[in-house]
């Protein structure tokens, strides 16, 4: 089904609050100009932040605000693309209020739930900026940590996060560790935390990558295909938070089963693209 791009009409506009000021370094004497002698922070020329959502009505507003704060800090120009993957709650309506009041926020709506991979693909297809941040709307990351990624863009095309002290249940962490060992062994992946929802990628690399999976296998496929295009990888640690609202779906048995079905289907094609890490 074709993704549509349209604001939600008839909603009361809700403006995001002003960005919090950046606290000066405590070592700088009071009354001095902290900009004197301090090199300007490197910024991206432009940035698309993609937020796939499924039933995230409790989180999506803060996720958009968090994304706007991070983008304003790290880029000269930006857009935020919310992809509502057939939510049955008010996720799309809440996101639509931001669309009505800020031209930098865009909304892509799937008429039915198609899967995480399809939501990521729709966001990538909608992205128009030089760099694309693929993340999630569940507030498990502080997107302002993107500041740590930016300096590495001088020498890397794909910057892949890995979770520091992952705040998930023991069962979820064990399943994730097993999946990482499996796909790293099969495809010689250059990343340790393949499903981390914090990935910054040059859009010209993404333009050459043709993704086919529609479920949780999407991150593995993305890593393999980006590497096959000659992309240079770097990894950055990001702090992970516990989900405080909404329901996580990554451990859902249907999601896991779908990932293994896609792994079986895509194994031959992706294995042909993979090569041992140098």
- pLDDT, one tens digit per residue, over 242-273 is 877 656 655 567 777 888 888 888 888 887 78
Nearest residue to 91 via CA among 118, 119, 121: 119
Q: What is the mean pLDDT of each run of 10 residues along the chain (278 residues)?
A: 43 42 35 45 95 96 98 98 97 98 98 95 98 96 96 98 84 85 91 95 96 92 96 96 67 76 86 67
pLDDT for the residue 120: 97
Is 103 within 8 Å of 14 (Cβ atoms)? Answer: no
CATH numbers and ranges of domains, the chain:
41-273 (3.90.550.10)
Q: Is 188 left (phi over 0), alpha (psi -120 to 50) or beta?
A: left
What pTM value is reported for the model? 0.80
Q: Mean pLDDT of all residues in the chain?
A: 84
Q: Which residues pair with 164 in a beta bridge?
A: 239
pLDDT for the residue 258: 82
pLDDT for the residue 252: 66
- What pLDDT, in 10s, does the model give residues 124-150? 999 999 999 999 999 999 999 999 999
pLDDT for the residue 40: 61
**First-to-final CA distance of the chain:** 41
């Amino acid at each position: 089904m074709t993704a549509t791009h349209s604001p939600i009409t008839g909603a009361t506009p809700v403006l995001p609050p002003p960005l919090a000021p950046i606290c000066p370094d405590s070592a700088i004497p009071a009354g001095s100009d902290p900009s004197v002698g301090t090199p300007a922070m490197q910024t991206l020329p432009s940035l698309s932040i993609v937020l796939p959502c499924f039933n995230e009505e409790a989180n999506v507003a803060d996720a958009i605000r968090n994304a706007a704060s991070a983008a304003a800090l790290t880029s000269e120009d930006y857009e935020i693309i919310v992809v509502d993957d057939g939510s049955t709650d008010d996720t799309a309506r809440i996101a639509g209020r931001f669309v009505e009041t800020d031209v930098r926020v865009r909304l892509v709506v799937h008429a039915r739930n198609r899967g995480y991979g399809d939501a990521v693909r729709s966001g990538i297809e909608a992205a128009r900026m030089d760099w694309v941040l693929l993340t999630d709307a569940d507030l498990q990351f502080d997107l302002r940590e993107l500041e740590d990624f930016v300096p590495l863009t001088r020498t890397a095309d794909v910057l892949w996060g890995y979770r520091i002290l992952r705040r998930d249940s023991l069962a979820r962490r064990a399943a994730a560790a097993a999946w990482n060992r499996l796909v790293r062994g099969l495809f010689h992946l250059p990343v340790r935390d393949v499903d981390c929802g914090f990935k910054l990628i040059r859009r010209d690399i993404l333009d050459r990558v043709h993704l086919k999976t529609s479920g949780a296998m999407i991150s593995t496929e993305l890593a393999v295909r980006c590497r096959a295009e000659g992309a240079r990888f770097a990894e950055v640690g990001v702090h992970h938070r516990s989900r405080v609202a909404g329901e996580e779906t990554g451990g859902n048995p249907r999601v896991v089963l779908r990932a293994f079905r896609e792994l079986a289907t895509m194994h031959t094609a992706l294995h042909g693209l993979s090569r041992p890490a140098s």
